[in-house]
């Protein structure tokens, strides 16, 4: 086992171990670098690797080195600003505040700082705009304060190691550190390397230091010199650093997976604007103009543009008749007077079904169409609701299409996503028959509702001139993403949580 470790050691690791052996198994990186003719970076790199293998211990201490800045040197030579003022005060007893700068040869910024320190050190007091020397100030004229003593020492020594300082140095250091730009404090790490028992056992077995090859060159192969090379061993079980490759955001990944499923099922993708007229968003879907979903509490109405142009007069007239009396469908409609101005209102689309009605108005069956896009509703932000989210919508139109075909499409879609699906009866203003899709969660042993679907009502199709059956479905993508990712708060999908995003697996296409 130990021989395997020896074989896998890099030449720098062997040199560090041999250097420590010659220095009684314990020394500094600097001494090892000197004895083994290595640079300090190579020594430290090898030391880290040896420590991970349990062959040496790396002990670290940090020294604080203090030195004077250029300003500090000036103060050490000429005196601190408050000391300059004290000298003048000692001669004159008091000085008007406005004259301090000129008398002590200080600029306005230094005067402000100096007055503060004069008061802290109790060398002077201010009385009615005049600075007067105190008894403590008179005593301080002939002796140095602790910060001044430290300035003198630093001026003589250039720099000083702050390790177990005397009380005098500590007090002076604490005072100078409160003032900006006088001293520099630099932290310098110190390392000590010590061979472990395991490392000593390894050294006792004998370590041979010779150059090792890590790769073959064309020249070595050509000349045959590779036969005399010693190749370095590699530890295939060694730890490797974490790396975080770029990857698609999990919500976008879910959207792309959904898109690919429908494309492979033969659907055509349609896209449209998030700004829509109430006509396409509500009226074409046989949703009455006094329906609760149209209220400001549920829908975002746009101020500019406030209204949107409507399509052909014929289509608008067909929709009006469907609402008022059912038109040619045999339905009674909603029995109210339909208002074209309400239909012109500009809204942020509340669902992508408006794309489905537009597509039906512009294309002849047979049709298999889906769309993926953002929709907007006036929702309070909670762990399960957002005012902006994504929805996938789709329609299938064909002569022999039945309700059973719709359920088959949905089951296949959920199966491709990895879910088992079932359906229960539901109500929507624009479909009949209508169902809610539910998928099964094995870990929770429960079913969860995920989307609505159904067959478009005649009141939707007849104004559009569509005579074939049309199956429609709509699914919230964020809820699907939450289930796939195992998260309970929808807001997580929009947070910049780099830790969570990094931990998500990379999915390869």
For position 366, which CATH number holds? Answer: 3.30.930.10
**Annotated binding-site members:** 353, 391-393, 430, 456
- Predicted confidence band of residue 265 (pLDDT cuts 50, 70, 90): very high
- Please report the pLDDT score of residue 208 as a whole number: 75
Whether 243 is covered by a domain: the verdict is: no
C-alpha gyration radius of the chain: 41
165 pLDDT higher than 70:
no
Residue 114 domain-assigned? yes
User: Is the confidence at residue 98, as pLDDT, over 60?
Assistant: yes
- In this predicted structure, what is the pLDDT of residue 507? 67
Residue-number span of the structural domain to which 389 is assigned: 252-502
State how far the Cα of 206 lies from the Cα of 418, in Å rounded to an integer: 59
Number of domains in the chain: 3
Whether residue 106 sits in one domain with residue 150: yes
The 8-class DSSP code of residue 307 comes to: B
More confident call, 236 vs 356: 356
One domain for residues 192 and 98: no
Q: What is the SS3 assignment for 428? A: strand
What confidence score (pLDDT) does residue 390 get?
Answer: 92
Please list the residues that pair with 190 across neighbouring strands.
61
Residue 195 and residue 108 share a domain = no
The pLDDT of residue 162 is: 62
pLDDT in tens, 428-447: 888 999 999 988 888 778 88
Q: Are residues 7 and 108 in the same domain?
A: no
Over residues 34-53, the mean pLDDT reads 89
Q: Go through 442-460 and write b for each residue having 16 or more CB atoms within 10 A of its CB, e for each that does not.
A: eeeeeeeebbbbbbbbbbb
Peptide bond just before 433 cis, omega within 30 deg: yes
- In this structure, are 153 and 276 located in the same domain? no
In this structure, the answer to whether residues 169 and 227 fall within a common structural domain is no
Query: Does 350 share its domain with 330?
Result: yes
Residue 395 has pLDDT above 70, yes or no: yes
Spatial neighbors of 503 by CB under 8 A, at least 6 apart, are none
Look over the chain and give the mean of its residue pLDDT values, rounded to a whole number. 86
Q: What is the mean pLDDT of residues 270-293?
A: 91
What is the mean pLDDT of the segment spanning 50-69? 86
Residues 193 and 298 in one domain: no
The arithmetic mean of pLDDT across residues 329-352, rounded, is 92
Q: Binding site for L-phenylalanine: residue ranges? A: 353, 391-393, 430, 456
Question: Is there a domain that residue 402 lies in?
Answer: yes
Same domain, 319 and 456: yes
Of the chain, the percentage scoring pLDDT greater than 70 comes to: 95
Q: Is the pLDDT of residue 246 over 90?
A: no
Identify whether 259 is part of a domain. Answer: yes
User: Is 509 a domain residue?
Assistant: no
**What pLDDT is stored for residue 161 in this prediction?**
61
In this prediction the pTM is: 0.56
**pLDDT category of residue 241 using cuts at 50, 70 and 90:** confident
Q: How confident is the model at residue 117 (pLDDT cuts 50, 70, 90)?
A: confident
Out of 91-95, 178-182, 392-396, 478-482, the most confident range is 392-396
Q: Indicate whether 508 belongs to any domain.
A: no
203 and 323 share a domain?
no
pLDDT at 1 over 70: no
Ordered DSSP codes for 57-96: EEEEEEEEEEEE-HHHHHHHHH--HHHHHHHHHHHHSEEE
Question: Looking at the domain assignment, is residue 87 inside a domain?
Answer: yes
Query: Given a cut of 60, is residue 191 above it in pLDDT?
Result: yes
């Amino acid at each position: 086992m130990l021989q395997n470790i020896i074989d896998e050691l890099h030449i720098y690791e062997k040199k560090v171990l041999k250097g420590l052996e010659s220095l009684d198994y314990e020394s500094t990186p600097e001494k090892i670098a000197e004895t083994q003719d290595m640079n300090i970076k190579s020594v430290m790199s090898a030391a880290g690797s040896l420590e991970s293998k349990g062959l040496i211990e790396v002990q670290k201490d940090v020294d604080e080195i203090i030195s004077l800045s250029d300003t500090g040197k000036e103060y050490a030579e000429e005196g601190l600003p408050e000391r300059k003022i004290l000298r003048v005060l000692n001669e004159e007893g008091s000085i008007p505040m406005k004259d301090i700068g000129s008398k002590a040869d200080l600029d306005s910024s230094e005067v402000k700082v100096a007055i503060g320190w004069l008061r802290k050190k109790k060398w002077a007091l201010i009385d009615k705009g005049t600075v007067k020397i105190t008894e403590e100030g008179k005593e301080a004229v002939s002796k140095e304060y602790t910060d001044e003593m430290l300035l003198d020492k630093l001026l003589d020594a250039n720099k000083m190691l702050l390790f177990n300082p005397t009380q005098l140095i500590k007090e002076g250091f604490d005072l100078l550190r409160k003032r900006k730009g006088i001293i520099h404090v630099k932290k310098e790490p110190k390392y000590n390397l010590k061979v472990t028992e395991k490392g000593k056992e390894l050294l006792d077995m004998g370590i041979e230091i010779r150059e090792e090859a890590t790769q073959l060159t064309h020249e070595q192969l050509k000349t045959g010199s590779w036969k005399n090379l010693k190749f370095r061993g590699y530890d295939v079980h060694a730890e490797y650093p974490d790396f975080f490759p770029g990857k698609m955001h999990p919500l976008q990944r879910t959207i792309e997976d959904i898109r690919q499923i429908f494309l492979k099922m033969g659907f055509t993708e349609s896209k449209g604007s998030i700004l829509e007229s109430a006509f396409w968003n509500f009226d074409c879907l046989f949703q009455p103009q006094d329906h609760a979903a149209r209220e400001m509490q549920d829908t975002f109405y746009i101020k500019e543009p406030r209204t949107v142009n409507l399509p052909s007069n014929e289509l608008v007239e067909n929709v009006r008749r469907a609402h008022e009396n059912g038109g040619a469908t045999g339905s009674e409609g909603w029995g109210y007077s339909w208002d074209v101005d309400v239909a012109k209102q500009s809204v942020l689309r509340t669902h992508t079904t408006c794309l489905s009605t537009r597509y039906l108005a512009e294309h002849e069956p047979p049709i298999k169409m889906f769309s993926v896009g953002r929709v907007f509703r006036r929702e309070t932000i909670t762990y399960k609701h957002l005012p902006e989210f994504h929805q996938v919508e789709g329609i299938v139109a064909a002569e022999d299409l039945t309700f059973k075909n719709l359920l088959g499409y949905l089951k296949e879609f959920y199966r491709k996503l990895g879910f088992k699906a079932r359906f229960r009866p539901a109500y929507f203003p624009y479909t009949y028959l209508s169902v809610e899709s539910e998928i099964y969660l094995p870990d929770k042993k429960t079913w969860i509702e995920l989307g609505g679907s159904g067959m478009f009502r005649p009141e939707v199709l007849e104004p559009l001139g569509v005579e074939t059956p049309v199956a429609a479905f709509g699914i919230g993508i964020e809820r699907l993403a939450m289930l796939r990712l195992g998260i309970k708060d929808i807001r997580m999908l929009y947070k910049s949580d780099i830790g969570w995003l990094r931990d998500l697996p990379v999915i390869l296409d």
